Amino acid sequence: DAFGTEMVPHNRADLLENGDAIFDSIVSAFREARLSINVEVYIFDHGTIATSLARALEERARAGVEVRLLVDGFGSSLGELQDEMAAAGVKVEVYKPLRIYSLYRVGNRTHRRIFTVDGRIGFCGGVGIDDRWKGDARDPSEWRETMVRVEGPVVAELQHVFFEDWLHTTGEVLHGSAQF
């Protein structure tokens, strides 16, 4: 309780190392989504990895799943993926978009990496959606990273953090059985 939160039982955590394991696990979870997918990420840059994740999000949105993507206005560059995902029904929003009149306030970004599926599977860690994290860290062009795949009550905690930033960005209050 030293951090102001209680430890709760009945969670499961699996350590995922490097892009091959991380992205395969995330895309697999996306494909199983039946109700909702929420993603908040600092870096989502167009490329092979971004396109793969975007296509999985688009497919689920077309299937009727509520899909929300919150990207940082400084760290992300979706390019044409933004319009393609939006056309498929993905709700794409930019956290604190950069504006000429607010360049002096470029700080206070969302450096979070939160992925939740149906309120029951979550991912958190340090990966960015970018080809630099592709592979298995075999050489300097493949960055090393770790993510954690979680199930259990901890997923609701990840959802709450996402909900706060989504509310701040859009004014939309998220709730209901599709989220939890």
> Tell me: the pLDDT tens digits for 62-89?
999 999 999 998 888 899 999 999 999 9
Q: How confident is the model at residue 12 (pLDDT cuts 50, 70, 90)?
A: very high
Q: What residues contact residue 108 under an 8 Å CB cut-off, 6+ apart?
A: 96
pLDDT tens readout for residues 88-145: 999 999 997 665 555 555 556 677 899 999 999 999 999 999 999 999 999 999 999 9
Residues in the chain: 180
Largest Cα separation within the chain, whole Å, is 48
Q: pLDDT value at position 111?
A: 79
- Are the CB atoms for 149 and 129 separated by under 8 Å? no
Question: Residue 92, Cα to own-chain centre: how many angstroms?
Answer: 11
Q: What percent of the chain has pLDDT above 90? A: 78
C-alpha distances out from residue 6 to 9, 52, 104, 154, 157, Å: 10, 37, 38, 11, 11
Q: pLDDT value at position 73?
A: 85
Written in H, E and C, the secondary structure of the chain is CCCCCCCCCCCEEEEEEHHHHHHHHHHHHHHHCCCEEEEEECCEECCHHHHHHHHHHHHHHHCCCEEEEEEECCCCECCHHHHHHHHHCCEEEEECCCCHHHHHHCCCCCCCEEEEECCCEEEEECCCECHHHCCCCCCCCCCCCEEEEEECCHHHHHHHHHHHHHHHHHCCCCCCCCCC
- Per-residue pLDDT for 1 more than 70? no
Question: pTM for this one?
Answer: 0.90
- Per-residue pLDDT for 13 more than 80? yes
What's the average model confidence in pLDDT over 36-40? 98
Which range, of 6-10, 24-28, 126-130, averages the lowest pLDDT? 6-10
Task: Write phi, then psi, for 40 (nearest 5 degrees).
Answer: -130, 125
- Residue 103 CA to residue 10 CA, distance in Å, equals 44
- Are the CB atoms for 27 and 52 separated by under 8 Å? yes
Q: How confident is the model at residue 4 (pLDDT cuts 50, 70, 90)?
A: low
What's the average model confidence in pLDDT over 22-46? 96
Q: pLDDT value at position 115?
A: 98
